[in-house]
Amino acid sequence: MLPDRAFFNQLAEAAAAETLPRFRTGINVVNKEAAGFDPVTEGDRAAETAIRALISERYPEHGILGEEHGSVGLDRDYVWVIDPIDGTRAFISGLPVWGTLIGLYRNGKAVMGMMDQPFTGERYFADSTHSFYEGPGGARTLTSRKGVTLAQATLFTTSPHLHTGENKARFDALENTVQLSRYGTDCYAFALLASGHIDLVVESGLKPYDIGGLIALIEQAGGVVTTWDGSPAEMGGDIVAAGSVALHAEALALLRG
């Protein structure tokens, strides 16, 4: 039996109790990558600990794949995929486009998900049939934008510098075709796509926890999300999300090279 929306809300509120008091407070940052910059904060670790504790208490038979505290039970039928702060660079910069991502996989397929942005008071949630929004402006069911061609599309990516090698040439070809491109919004871009505000999100080198909480949100809103070669997105990689099947096919034709 799948968890209900109330339990996802409980997880989001437990995470927010750890992240929100630390946002824009100048907290300490630890770099996880010796050859680059991969920041983590005490907020990341505390929020994931809080989420995992609630899941383990309610669903001890489920597995968990988390960014900060490792994985357990990945061979189980149900696996939770957690990114306590997706967009840590935005978080430490005071930019409110980070979010807490919580996804649930059943037999390797994303079936539920949530993106919560506690500073702006926005919560995006998907069950097995619909995607929903709660926040400023009220509550509503989400529908991605349809009827947009590549030449009319708005494209988001976290940074064009994250696309390297062959990926850079393919991304550049796509960016040169769309009407508008914008940078720097991490998971928030995928929520905007599910909401019908933008049309494409393209990323390189995502981990499962970077996308796991967003897949059901996009799909239940009517969008499509895969890797650049059209494979399922659940295990991460080079990811493209589109508001419609037709637009996804147009983008994929360029990203495949």
- Model confidence over 233-254: pLDDT tens digits? 999 999 999 999 999 999 999 9
CB neighbour burial string for 228-240, b if at least 16 within 10 angstroms, e if fewer:
beeeebbbbbbbb
| 157 token code pair | 């990516």
Domains 5-141 and 150-255 share a fold: no
Between 67 and 77, residue with greater pLDDT: 77
Q: What is the DSSP string of 23-89?
A: TTS---EEE--TTS--EEEHHHHHHHHHHHHHHHHH-TTSEEEESSS-EE-TTSSEEEEEEEEE-HH
The domain defined by 150-255 folds into D-Maltodextrin-Binding Protein; domain 2 (3.40.190)
Question: Residues 84, 43: contact at Cβ < 8 Å?
Answer: yes
Given this model, what pLDDT does residue 26 score?
Answer: 73
Residue type, 200: L
- Model confidence over 107-140: pLDDT tens digits? 999 999 999 999 999 999 999 999 999 999 999 9
pLDDT at 205 over 90: yes
- Model confidence over 190-203: pLDDT tens digits? 999 999 999 999 99
- Model confidence over 5-56: pLDDT tens digits? 999 999 999 999 999 999 999 766 665 555 554 556 788 899 999 999 999 9
CATH class of 5-141: alpha beta
pLDDT at 186 over 70: yes
Given this model, what pLDDT does residue 33 score?
Answer: 53
pLDDT at 158 over 80: yes
Given this model, what pLDDT does residue 41 score?
Answer: 79
Rounded Cα–Cα distance for residues 50 and 28 (Å): 19
The secondary structure of residue 182, as a DSSP letter, is E
Between 43 and 74, residue with greater pLDDT: 74
pLDDT at 167 over 60: yes
**Mean pLDDT for the stretch of residues 141-155:** 98
The residue extents of the domains of the chain are 5-141, 150-255
CB atoms within 10 A of CB 256: 11
* Average pLDDT of every residue of the chain: 94
Quote the percentage of the chain above a pLDDT of 70: 95
Rounded Cα–Cα distance for residues 180 and 125 (Å): 27
